[in-house]
Amino acid sequence: MLVPLTFERFYSKPVTNIESLTLPNIIYSKFSNNLENVNSKNPLYLLELKYILLVYIFFIKLFYRDKTKVGSTAIPYNPEDQELSGLLISISSIFNDWPNSFYDFIYDYQDKPKSKPKYDRGSLINNFGYFYIDLYKKYNHPSLNFLREEFENYIHNNWDKTIISHGKYINKDPMGARYLSTTQVAKMLNIQHKHVRNLIRNGHLKAIKTRERNDYLLILRDSVEEYISNQKLFSNREQVKQILNVGYQSITELERRGLLILKRGPNIDGHFEYLYDKEKIHQLLSKIESRYYQYKRRSLDNISSYEKSDVVKCTKYVIGINIADILSLIIEGRILPVGKIDKEKGIKKYLLQISTVKQEVLEYKIRSQQGVFSIPELMNYLEIGKNLLNRLIENGFLAPTNKMQKPFIPVENAISFKSNYITLGQLSAICSEESHDLLDRLSYKGINPILDSFVKKNIVYSIEDIQYLIK
């Protein structure tokens, strides 16, 4: 029968009755491959024989190191050494009634005389010496993970958590440790320490707070794994940039238009980076792809290459329109991709017909009454020539925006002008009457133009003054 372990038993005098001392039954059973009579609750039951021996070597070396008070020692071998035989039985009792017997060993061991490391790195080393260092350094083998896990459970459940210092080797294996340091989490998430603390502060990670150097010393690994799992649902701005093949400014524009959904960020939940719904990103690309196949089903690709341009470059052919506006028109079905370059990525692979883009953008500006008109767009919208347009701008009838260097006219100003003024040429087309006859009739009635011109069709009248003619 094995003797319950106490610290005194672990360091007891040599046992005289050597015949009663044998290796633990579990070692013999493993060696003989007969586990029928072995207690399956014993943690050694799950280990291979070579790892069981490794566990015993760990404790044996610990005993002789503490006994000789030197930093390292070889295990003395003497088949008739009753002290060593008794030590094996004492070690075996550590694993009976697991983990309570192990906790008893730790409780007794921390206050007993033992070999001290050559230099001190904190309270854990002060109390547990080489047991603590070797467990996380020399014997940092996966087979001993169960010892490390229960040691950490003992520390967190029985010690005053405010005095636990950050040892160099604790939780060295992030995959096996239940608690992680700030440095380990920073490496796992590939972020800075300050961002780890930010995640803890905003409730994304769970941690034990201490009064040591770091505000958050021990972070629950389960919360880190849950955070990593949730991250699979999101893409940060750099990832969105690569997926869509656009710049950061375009990402912001897509977000404003609702084509991308920002799920996390500094202004949402205090997260240190902007994270977007990954599903929404793929929905956007899928919708563009479906519009391309819609065009292919009903049209022949007879558009020359110089009449096409990719989605991003198309913004150069229109003024006051960004990528988000063009993508919205594609999703609505007003613009259909007419080609695709498979070697490109993201939205740059889709080609649009330039003339269609110009026309649809013009109509979009009119519908939304937002943005600005370029000179060609304004000539198209007002149905006038460039000379007359320049005169209208010079005389203040069309005020350009002061936010741009070139004379771009706000759409609302152009719509207001078209609602209030008309040229003699346009009036002639409405009334089906020659321009010179209309001019004579208006002069006879005393209706004067607001802007005269040598070219009769460019004479501008107020619609309010000639309302009776239009009716």
**316 backbone dihedrals φ, ψ, rounded to 5°:** -75, -20
pLDDT number for residue 73: 67
CB atoms inside a 10 Å sphere around CB 420? 12
Bridge partners, 114 (sequence order): none
Distance, CA of 465 to CA of 448 (rounded, Å): 9
What burial letters (b/e) apply to 184-213, b meaning 16+ CB within 10 Å? bbbebbeeeeebbbbbbeeebbbbeebebe
pLDDT for the residue numbered 12: 45
| Contact (Cβ atoms closer than 8 angstroms) between residue 199 and residue 205 | yes
Q: What is the average pLDDT across 305-331?
A: 90
Is 448 a residue whose pLDDT tops 70?
Answer: yes
Q: Decide if pLDDT at 142 tops 70.
A: yes
33 CB-near residues (< 8 Å, 6+ apart): none
pLDDT for residue 197: 83
Highest-pLDDT range among 265-269, 410-414, 435-439, 463-467:
410-414
Residue of 153, 189, 196, 157 whose CA lies nearest to 171: 153
Contact 195, 266 (CB under 8 A): no
Instruction: Classify 21 as helix, strand or coil.
Output: coil
| Of 155-164, 183-192, 323-332, 409-418, minimum mean pLDDT range | 155-164
What is the mean predicted confidence (pLDDT) over 282-292? 94
Say how many residues make up the chain.
Answer: 471
Cα gap 114→70, rounded to integer Å: 10
Cβ(256)–Cβ(324) below 8 Å: yes
Pairing label, strands 179-180, 275-277? unpaired
